[in-house]
Structure 1
Amino acid sequence: MKIKTGRQEQSGNKGEHDDEPLTPTARLFTAPEFNCYITAVIGLKSKINRDVFIEGLEQTLLKHPRFSSILVNDRQEQKWVRTKVVAENHVIIPKIELENTNSDAFLESYVSDLTTIPLDTSKPLWEVHLLDLITSDAQNVIVLKIHHSVGDGMSLMSLVHACTRKTSNHDELPSLPNENRQSSKSVAGSSGFPRLIWMVMLVWNTLCDALKFIATTMFLKDTDTPIKGDFRLNNSKRMCLVHRTVNLEDIKLIKNAMKMTVNDVLLGVAQAALSKYLERRYGEKEKKAGEHESRRNSSNMLKEIRLRACLLVNIRPTTGVQDLANMMAKGSKCKWGNWIGYMLFPFSLALHDDPLEHLRRVKSIINRKKNSLEALLTFTSTKILIKLLGVVRAASLTSRTISNTTMSFSNLVGPSEEVSLFGHPITYIAPSANGHPHALTMHFQSYMNKMTISLTVDPTAICDPHQLCDDLEESLRSIKAAVQERSATQ
């Protein structure tokens, strides 16, 4: 049966409302194994003005093609079909009765409940929840839920940033900082012997990563740990979403002292925190062996664990905030879609006397990963699998590959100054994703001088996500203290 989409008959541009087929990656995200959603919790400094907020949506998101199209399943293909959108149909304002419930706990429960409720496919695949709720770090809260087929996390968060304006100048778009990275491009641009060595290493590293990728799909599995979970149930379970905000200046201090990137520091902190968390979980199981014996056994067990994370990587150059703002305001063209690959990053779990050892090990692995085409390889191979085998089989193979690893990890850059969303100043941004076969996903989002850590966990595997947040915060403090001590000694 054909679906009536309520298209607008009048259009100044020919072809403006033409149907558009889904990209291969977007089709993958509609498969049962990857029915993924992106959820962003945004804390505000003031109460939400419903009418102002809806008017802002009409002037921005509703003008974006993906936010004004429904997903249609034809026999031949899946496609986006433009439709008339009513903003009020996508804005949900729940009635909140706290009674004896803590407001922070209520928010976590509310967002977790959203992970079990699919979006209505008869409408564009997004919705906004306006919560009149005062929490420990916000006066009101917005929850934005979007199906992953609409776009990748980096594109969607950039789109959210394009809807904001600086509080210091309400007519000016936010500026996103670009981290200076020492990449292999400088080597690639050289000539002679260094360039030859770089090309040989690039080919060799990519070949090794390709073989590991194939092995992971076929048989190479991570160790079954308390944080791995059961991938066969994760995409249908209620997931728990928690967040914790730390000082971005502490991360930058470590970055500058160790001559690393922010992403390197975050990986080092995550590795140290996971080592502490798993050591505690294993230690609790072995208390009968005695306190000292238990710690020794759990420490030895950490070294034998294979624990890999899927590092999400944006394949295309980041779309600028100004370009996205022009798309919504003027209808101009802009690159969009799901252009993400991933790298398999092995965490080296251990309890080091020197916490800086975590950073050194991470930096060594990352430097090699930067000289590899692994992310492009995974992105391209997924597209080829979909074309050759179809979405169902490709999704099954991809799910098998990812489920043989333990967790997902991503880091997104936000505005360096305070911004407001439709006149509402923002205090924090906590993005997350669910629906993929992982029991643990770590997202890091910078904003102003803060870094928000968002954890999406399967509560049947990780029943104490706040403890893992504590371990992340404590690991950051210990690494910062070690850096300051080293600097004072030098």
Structure 2
Amino acid sequence: MASQGAFSDEPLSPAGRLFIDPKTDVIIHVIASGKSLIDIDFAKSALESSVMVQHPRFHSLLVRDENGLEHWRRTKIDIDQHVIVFNNRLDKSGKFIDDMSQGFNNEDDDGEEAVNQYVADLSVSSPLSTDKPLWEIHVLTAHKCAVFRIHHALGDGFSLMSMLMAGCGKVEDVADHQDAAVPTVAQVKRAESKRGKGRDWFRLLGVISSFFKTIQYTLMFVVEFVLRNLFVCDKKTVISGGDGVELWPRKLATAKFLLEDMREVKKAIPNTTINDVLYAVISSGLSRYLEHRTPNALHDGLRLTGVAMVNLRANPGVQELSEVMKKDSEARWGNKFGAILLPVYYHKAGKDPLVWLKRAKVVVDMKKHSLEAYVTYRFRDLVMNLLGPKYVCLLYYKLLCNTTFTISNFMGPVEKITIAGYPVSSMKFNTSSLPQALSIYMLSYVGRVEMQLLVAKDIIPDPEFLAKCFEDALLEMRMATIGINKA
């Protein structure tokens, strides 16, 4: 039985109320894999004393008062209810094999594919129980991995990444995990202004020009965003989803990249970022896939629209948990993000793969000049306060139905980490299913980027080929960049 004790109930944030609606219910999945077997008893003991379990959100129940309003209520944690252990090996379909010995004595060549399918099944058919705090960890001992399942109402990706990193250590500190240093996370570098004598007039002109660009692009993109919420939708293609597709069976595939390759490609065009390269890879890869599925059926320049979530905190990197947990800290815990629309245009393959990067940079530069993410964040809260969560959920769901895919991208640790003393060799994340047939999730870890592709398998039956389209797109851009450097 839940007990308040000395704590009073805390109301859910507007975004938290959005993510508990049945049509927009979202669970975040983080897959942490390693090379060694997991000691369950040690892992549970470490978890009980971890910063994650100590955080109020992770030992609070979701309750509703007599008026139907949702609140967080403190309760005691029973670790055994949250750590779910599976000893048997998974087959390629994500189902458990009865013979336990197969999980430990044989080389598991299909482990990643099997775990992917297991998580894909969770994304559709396995909601979190409200009888306990909204998180759990599935430990797949035979596959040497753990799947963290955390409800989006507890916090956004940046808050949860802060939580995870604050409870982790570096591999070299594994012998003394409790005192281990918090891992280093890649930070977003901001452009520094260059000052010089006699340049004040030009700087003033630049500020004025930037101000008017911000107004222009903000108005243009916000109007488009509102129209997308109401009735404007993408043309239907073989990768389009729609109303009810969030209930369809899922498949999950992984595309893998090297950050060094992306850094090499971004050198081809001045002032280009890793995000520009990722956007170019997605644009090129989707065009390749569509040409494969429906050759010569689509007109050149056909637009497909993606929805991307943007962190709005003052610190664009992952915050220290000690700052997040301070009551009056500016590094706010919870859900603080806006949404932007990212258009992708279908084009047949040309001679110059770097054309995709040039197009991507133009779009991203315009988005950087706009306040689209901030305005959509405030718009969501305004509708929530005036009309209630029902209408916010309807608008959000309609937006997903009117667009083609979702993108989410995070910078992860730059060095290998341990979780509860367990060395992690691979990290990936995704969420539960959405009405779109394609969702794209990217996380960097120790010089690599793993892109999870969650698809409705009756619409996109071959996500492995789609993953290869993305990998080939980056490879071609890299080869073109090397050719330019040699010339």
Give the TM-score normalised by the residue count of structure 1.
0.88
Contact 2:352 2:480 in 1 (8 A): yes
Which residue of 1 is the match for residue 117 of structure 2? 109
Offset, 1:385: 1.0
Q: Does 1:166 align with 2:170?
A: yes
Q: 1:36 aligns with which of 26, 42, 67?
A: 26
Q: Does 1:401 align with 2:399?
A: yes
Amino acid in structure 2 at the alignment position of 1:251: M
Q: Distance in 1 between matches of 2:411 and 2:351?
A: 31
Q: Secondary structure at the match of 1:343?
A: strand
Q: How does 1:277-426 map to 2 (within 5 A)?
A: 277-283=289-295, 297-298=296-297, 301-318=298-315, 323-324=320-321, 335-350=332-347, 351-426=349-424
Offset, 1:475: 0.8
Which residue of 1 is the match for residue 129 of structure 2? 120
Identity of aligned residues (%): 32
Change (3 A) 1:419 1:28: same
Contact 1:103 1:133 in 2 (8 A): no
Q: Deviations over 1:336-365 (max 9, x none)?
A: 111111111111221222110000000001
Q: Unpaired runs of 5+ in structure 1? A: 10-14, 135-139, 284-296
Q: Does 1:243 align with 2:257?
A: no
Q: Unpaired runs of 5+ in structure 2? A: 94-109, 175-179
Q: How does 1:241-280 map to 2 (within 5 A)?
A: 241-259=252-270, 260-280=272-292
Q: Secondary structure at the match of 1:215?
A: helix
Q: Secondary structure at the match of 1:341?
A: strand
Offset, 1:191: 5.3
Change (3 A) 1:462 1:273: same
Which residue of 1 is the match for residue 72 of structure 2? 80
Which residue of 1 is the match for residue 211 of structure 2? 199
Offset, 1:176: 1.1
Q: Distance in 2 between matches of 1:438 and 1:184?
A: 41
Q: Distance in 2 between matches of 1:113 and 1:255?
A: 36
Change (3 A) 1:91 1:189: farther
Q: How does 1:149-164 map to 2 (within 5 A)?
A: 149-164=153-168
Q: Deviations over 1:104-146 (max 9, x none)?
A: 3432232122121111101000000110134xxxxx1111111
Q: Distance in 2 between matches of 1:35 and 1:235?
A: 10
Equivalent pairs, count? 457
Q: Secondary structure at the match of 1:360?
A: helix
Q: Does 1:145 align with 2:149?
A: yes
Amino acid in structure 2 at the alignment position of 1:366: V
Change (3 A) 1:237 1:158: farther
Q: Distance in 1 between matches of 2:13 and 2:194?
A: 29
Offset, 1:404: 0.8
Amino acid in structure 2 at the alignment position of 1:35: D
Q: Does 1:479 align with 2:474?
A: no
Change (3 A) 1:184 1:455: farther
Offset, 1:319: 7.8
Contact 2:418 2:424 in 1 (8 A): yes
Offset, 1:193: 2.5
Computed over aligned residues only, the root mean square deviation of the Cα atoms, in angstroms, reads: 2.5
Q: Distance in 2 between matches of 1:331 and 1:241?
A: 39
Give the TM-score normalised by the residue count of structure 2.
0.88
Q: Distance in 2 between matches of 1:238 and 1:429?
A: 24
Change (3 A) 1:430 1:471: same
Q: 2:234 aligns with which of 222, 242, 257?
A: 222
Q: Deviations over 1:73-103 (max 9, x none)?
A: 2243211111101111100012414579743
Contact 1:279 1:302 in 2 (8 A): no
Change (3 A) 1:246 1:406: same
Contact 2:340 2:373 in 1 (8 A): yes
Q: Distance in 2 between matches of 1:413 and 1:390?
A: 34
Contact 2:255 2:450 in 1 (8 A): yes
Offset, 1:325: 5.2
